[in-house]
């Protein structure tokens, strides 16, 4: 049987990506409901050649729905329990339920077995965590990971359509020798904003009491949950750069015992969703311009720590709207459909 599906947040960046992926992957569905806030209700969207009218999301919208894909945002908190109450399985891209012990947090290539433990809600990890997890898992399988030091280079589309508009507008203003206006980054909710065009901002989301940002602490806690090991040390620095799409990450990992570059590369090669692009002689390495719009993440610059034989260094890049959000969620839905478990 094919599921009845709802997409909540259908008009946003992640929602639009769900629609593109439905078409590309020929995701099987019986009925489809496109939902959004009252502001976007009435918008017409075409999915797989059929026109749908976006409806305002209400608790009753989930009546008869088997799988509900939530694109993200604070609305998940109220509507996810309502959808579950009505029999839907919610795959949620917001951060609301990620650390709830009753909610599995899943990257399908890494911990698909956790999907089966769900009690109605399955959480999609944060984009930077998902992309890093794809590089970590093949290494973790060769020797357990003890410690990670990661710096991210995150695209403006991680901050939504407003982030994209801001980089565009600031670039145009700068080229026209006009003042750049900044209202969104580093975080729209904060009083102070900086231009991202021709700049780098070492803050993503708000600061926590320990002076790490919320985005950084997501990388710590979510990585530990996905890899089922709270003892893994993660030391992150998350940075916004003036790139439209695809996050990049420089990752230094210490494992329990030494792993050779050849073994790690072979494991990455065999790992689903990961492409090894690593040929220094030919200047081949992953770059965000070339991973955008693609399903797979790319890993390169693989080399040993210069001073520690248990240390492995790599650079990983992935489309954060696709694998970092919509695709990851849809892969979870595909798992449920394949198992007819909805």
The residues annotated with a catalytic role in the active site are 127, 247
Judged by beta carbon, residue 73 or residue 104, the one nearer ligand 2RA is: 73
Q: Which two tokens stand for residue 317?
A: 């890049």
**What does DSSP say about strands 145-154 and 247-255: parallel, antiparallel, or unpaired?**
antiparallel
| CB closer to ligand 2RA out of 3 and 15 | 15
With respect to ligand 2RA, which residue has the nearer C-beta, 4 or 154?
A: 154
Of 90, 33, 46, 85, whose CA–CA distance to 67 is shortest?
A: 90
In the bound complex, what is the minimum distance in angstroms from residue 224's beta carbon to ligand 2RA? 17
Distance CA 66, CA 6 (A): 8
Is the dihedral angle over the CA atoms 240, 245, 246, 250 positive or is it negative? negative
Q: Which is nearer to ligand 2RA, 128 or 223 (CB)?
A: 128
Q: Please, which residue, 103 or 204, has the CB nearer to ligand 2RA?
A: 204
- Least gap, CB of 66 to ligand 2RA (angstroms): 26
Catalog residues that contact ligand 2RA under the rule CB under 6 A. Answer: 126-128, 154, 158-159, 204, 215
In this chain, which residue has its C-beta nearest to ligand 2RA?
158
Q: What does each C-alpha distance from 224 to 68, 315, 327 come to in angstroms? A: 26, 20, 22
Residue 324 Cβ, how far from ligand 2RA at the closest point, in Å? 7
Tell the smallest beta-carbon distance from residue 154 to ligand 2RA (Å).
4
What residues contact residue 6 under an 8 Å CB cut-off, 6+ apart?
32, 33, 34, 35, 61, 62, 65, 67, 68, 69, 83, 88
Are 123 and 220 contacting, i.e. CB atoms less than 8 angstroms apart?
no
Q: Which residues pair with 150 in a beta bridge?
A: 236, 251
Shortest separation between residue 261's beta carbon and ligand 2RA, angstroms: 29
CB of 158 to ligand 2RA, least distance (A): 2
What are the φ and ψ backbone dihedral angles of 211, each rounded to 5 degrees?
70, 5
What is the three-class DSSP state of 317? strand
- Nearest CB to ligand 2RA, comparing residues 154 and 255: 154
Helix (H, G, I), strand (E, B) or coil at 296: coil
| CA atoms of 13 and 38, how far apart (whole Å) | 17
For the chain, percent helix, then strand, then coil, each to nearest 5?
35, 25, 40
């Amino acid at each position: 049987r094919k599921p009845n599906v709802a997409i909540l947040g259908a008009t946003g960046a992640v929602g639009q990506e769900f629609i593109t992926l439905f078409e590309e992957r020929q995701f099987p569905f019986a009925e489809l409901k496109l939902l959004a806030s009252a502001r976007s209700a009435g918008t017409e969207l075409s999915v797989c050649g059929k026109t749908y009218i976006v409806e305002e999301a209400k608790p009753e919208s989930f009546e008869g729905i088997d799988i509900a894909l939530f694109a993200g945002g604070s609305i998940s908190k109220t509507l996810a329990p309502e959808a579950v109450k009505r029999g839907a399985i919610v795959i949620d891209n917001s951060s609301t339920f990620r650390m709830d012990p009753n909610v599995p947090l899943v990257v399908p290539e890494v911990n698909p077995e956790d999907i089966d433990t769900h009690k109605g809600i399955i959480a999609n990890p944060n984009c930077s965590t998902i992309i890093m997890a794809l590089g970590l898992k093949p290494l973790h399988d060769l020797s357990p990971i003890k410690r990670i030091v990661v710096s991210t280079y995150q695209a403006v589309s991680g901050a939504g359509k407003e982030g994209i508009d801001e980089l565009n507008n600031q670039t145009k203003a700068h080229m026209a020798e006009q003042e750049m206006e900044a209202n969104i980054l580093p975080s729209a909710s904060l009083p102070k904003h900086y231009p991202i065009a021709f700049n780098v901002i070492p803050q993503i989301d708000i600061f926590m009491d320990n002076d790490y940002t919320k985005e950084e602490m997501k990388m710590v806690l979510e990585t530990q949950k996905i890899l089922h090991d709270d003892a893994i040390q993660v030391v992150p620095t998350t940075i916004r750069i003036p790139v439209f799409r695809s996050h990049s990450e420089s990752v230094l990992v210490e494992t329990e015992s030494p792993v050779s570059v050849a073994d790690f590369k072979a494991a990455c090669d065999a790992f689903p969703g990961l492409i090894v692009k690593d040929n220094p002689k030919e200047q081949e390495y992953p770059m965000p311009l070339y991973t955008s719009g693609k399903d797979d993440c790319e890993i390169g610059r693989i080399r040993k720590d210069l001073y520690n034989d248990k240390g492995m260094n790599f650079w990983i890049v992935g489309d954060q709207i696709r694998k970092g959000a919509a695709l990851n969620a849809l892969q979870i839905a595909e798992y449920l459909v394949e198992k007819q478990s909805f």
